[in-house]
Amino acid sequence: MSKALVAYFSASGVTAKMAEKLAETIGADLFEIKPETPYTKEDLDWTNKKSRSTIEMEDRNSRPAISTKVGDMEQYTTVFVGFPVWWYREPSIIDTFIESYDFHGKTIVPFATSGMSPIGDSGRNMQALAPGAKVVAGKRFPNGVSADELKKWASEYDADRM
Ligand SMILES: Cc1cc2nc3c(=O)[nH]c(=O)nc-3n(C[C@H](O)[C@H](O)[C@H](O)COP(=O)(O)O)c2cc1C
């Protein structure tokens, strides 16, 4: 029997809400990817070339540390990974998350919130970091997306459970 995990990173709460809604509607476990050093408002200032987020996102090798750990990743066959789009892609801390586990044989399904950008190359970027997994392109949803819509979308990836 397959079991799903919804793992998410959220700097200002928008993705957190969506992740909670998704996990609840599909009956998945929920996990927060928490940065070891939380992002301050100044860190998130994308208009500042010297802000923490700008510096991290300009460096493809940046891997911000995570303070939380999934207890037993083995039990999951499908892992939904949620994040805000930062500079048209997944935040660097998502790269840290992907590199922190063995995703062999699992399906990773990215989902995102954003001001307006699509999810872009996030899925492809994540696939490169998890060669043994199947990483799909994923989808960006608007803030007000309904639980029903999320469930319908998610069921594509976990057909034998929903
Ligand atoms: C550093 C940074 C970069 C961002 N880059 C983009 C972007 O490229 N395109 C976009 O539409 N929104 C961008 N946003 C907006 C966020 O994706 C959006 O506000 C998101 O819903 C925030 O989610 P959260 O509350 O879970 O952190 C950016 C926000 C931050 C802080």
Query: 118: CA distance to ligand 1 center in Å?
Result: 11
30 in Cβ contact with 6 (< 8 Å):
yes
Which residues make Cβ contacts (< 8 Å) with residue 112, sequence separation at least 6?
15, 82, 83, 84, 85, 90, 119, 122, 138, 139, 140, 141
Q: What is the pTM of this model?
A: 0.97
Which residues make Cβ contacts (< 8 Å) with residue 58, sequence separation at least 6?
none
- For the CA of 114, the nearest atom of ligand 1: 17
| Mean of all residue pLDDT scores within the chain | 95
Query: 84: CA distance to ligand 1 center in Å?
Result: 5
**Cα 146 from Cα 142, distance rounded (Å):** 9
- For the CA of 16, the nearest atom of ligand 1: 26
Query: 137: CA distance to ligand 1 center in Å?
Result: 18
Ligand 1 contacts (CB < 6 A) are 10-16, 44, 46, 53, 84-88, 113-117
CB-side neighbour CA atoms (13 Å) of 73: 18
Query: 15: CA distance to ligand 1 center in Å?
Result: 10
User: Is 70 exceeded by the pLDDT of residue 161?
Assistant: no
The residue type found at 106 is K
| Distance, CA of 61 to chain centre | 18
- For the CA of 44, the nearest atom of ligand 1: 31
User: Is 90 exceeded by the pLDDT of residue 21?
Assistant: yes
106 in Cβ contact with 76 (< 8 Å):
yes
- Nearest residue to 82 via CA among 154, 130, 134, 131: 154
pLDDT in tens, 59-84: 999 999 999 999 999 999 999 999 99
Query: 162: CA distance to ligand 1 center in Å?
Result: 31
Residue nearest to atom 3 of ligand 1 (CA): 86
- Helix ranges (DSSP H) in 4-138: 14-26, 52-58, 92-99, 122-129
Mean pLDDT of 22-27: 96
pLDDT in tens, 79-136: 999 999 999 999 999 999 999 999 999 999 999 999 999 999 999 999 999 999 999 9
Please work out, in degrees rounded to the nearest 5, the angle formed at the alpha carbon of residue 133 by the alpha carbons of 132 and 138: 150
Q: What is the pLDDT of residue 3?
A: 85
Q: What percent of the chain has pLDDT over 70?
A: 96
Mean pLDDT of 16-42: 97
